[in-house]
Amino acid sequence: MKQGAVVSTRYNQVSALRTIQDLLGTEHINLNTAFQRPMAEVFDMRSSGRWTYTAETSTVLATTSLAPWRSFSDDLHGGW
């Protein structure tokens, strides 16, 4: 797919789950995912398949009481 191209194929949650299973190389969990079409148009199939991911904490969430990990993160990183 060319960069910036619009994908007009309709996908659903099972398509997303099937795609995740394919990307991770895991077995399909049931017949629904096994027979669902993966979201292949969304990804560059010619890429090397190598990717990196860096998790970043939400600055908005860190200021709320919904951040139970904040004290753990503070312990690991010496505070904010």
pLDDT of residue 55: 72
pLDDT in tens, 23-71: 888 899 999 999 999 988 887 767 776 777 677 777 777 777 765 554 5
Give the residue from 66, 62, 64 showing the smallest Cα distance to 74: 62
* 39 Cβ neighbours under 8 A, 6+ residues apart: 9, 11, 15, 16, 18, 19
Which ranges in the chain belong to alpha helices (H)?
13-24, 31-35, 70-77
Can you tell me the mean pLDDT for 5-29?
Answer: 89
Can you tell me the mean pLDDT for 5-18?
Answer: 89
pLDDT of residue 76: 53
